Amino acid sequence: MSYQLIDAHSHLWLQQDTQVEGKPIRSLKNGRSIFLGEEVQMLPPFMVDSVNSAEVFLSNMDYAQVSAAVVVQEVIDGCQNEYLTEVQRQYPDRFLCMGMAWNKEEAQAVIDAGLRGIAYPGHRMKEPLTDLMPVFKLMEQHGMVLSMCLADDERQTAEMEEIIQECPQLRIAIGHFGMANPPVTPPWEDERWRHEILLARHPNVRIETGGITWLYNSEFYPYPSAIRAFREAADLVGMEKLMWGSDYPRTITAITYRMSYDFILKSSELSDNDKQLLLGENARRFYGFENLKELPYIKNMSE
């Protein structure tokens, strides 16, 4: 590997045990979960205890030569603040962990715990994002990073514009690549998608591509339309504004962790500089990673 990789969107949890809109989400065995009342394969089946731990992720990262990862949160996994605080303390050079907070008091507790940001699944939120403005201003004061996934509508994009104007020094990562899923219309022909990507024209905003292999799961590897979407987004805001994210571990029920980025490495439509920026350099600068681990390539027995 000629450059170091950083995963800008991943998840960790010890156990899922929560509800969303009154529907249960609960870990079972063999990587399965009850998800909104349906049994699904949430994790690869070899995770027999259904624990999505930092140690298992580190094993995957070491094998795939990924030096560091940003760990965000989602309400479907329940609040993982306590566990992620432990992970951040134990592996400060490998993970940048984000908390969950819904008011200033909870946000201050996240800051005091040593977590590095706060993540919001805006696409699951019914209240205006601007209701959280006091939290965002507190985060700005403390140099925190805001991770925000948006619904695929114009309303939340407009709300984010207001937040960006009110908090010009708050580092913001927009997640899930603007939900660039093309069920009917390719995203680059969708004004809603273009407007969300254009949020990154602001100097403090980046776009991360967490879940890109999930968004293009129907197309599957090597995801040629995802590569096209990268190029279209780069035309809008520049490749220096884009960061690769895997959405580990849910995405590796269909593919391996290495496959979540090597379709980018093998693409002939992106330059070497594009790949270096997208796969790690942009995230290193934006999140402030230091002391990145050099990871050797380990040959597979079957090679």
Q: Is the peptide bond before 222 cis (omega within 30 degrees of 0)?
A: yes
Q: Which of 46-50, 183-187, 232-236 has the lowest mean pLDDT?
A: 183-187
Is the confidence at residue 186, as pLDDT, over 80? no
- Phi first, then psi: give them for residue 90, nearest 5 degrees: -80, -35
State how far the Cα of 262 lies from the Cα of 226, in Å rounded to an integer: 13
Is the confidence at residue 13, as pLDDT, over 70? yes
State how far the Cα of 44 lies from the Cα of 52, in Å rounded to an integer: 10
The pTM of the full predicted model, rounded to 2 decimals, is 0.96
Could you list the beta-strand ranges (E) of 145-221.
145-149, 171-174, 205-208
Q: Taking residues 281-297, what's their average pLDDT? A: 95
Is the confidence at residue 1, as pLDDT, over 70? no
State how far the Cα of 49 lies from the Cα of 51, in Å rounded to an integer: 5
What confidence tier does 180 reach under pLDDT thresholds 50, 70, 90?
A: confident
Note the pLDDT of residue 262: 96
Contacts of 189 by beta carbon, 8 Å cutoff, 6+ apart = none
What confidence tier does 109 reach under pLDDT thresholds 50, 70, 90?
A: very high
In terms of Cα–Cα distance, which of 138, 131, 124 is closest to 159? 131
**Residue-wise pLDDT tens digits, 85-103:** 999 999 999 999 999 999 9
Is the confidence at residue 57, as pLDDT, over 60? yes
Tokens of 70: 């940003």
Q: Which of 188-192, 214-218, 229-233, 276-280 has the lowest mean pLDDT?
A: 188-192
State how far the Cα of 217 lies from the Cα of 215, in Å rounded to an integer: 6
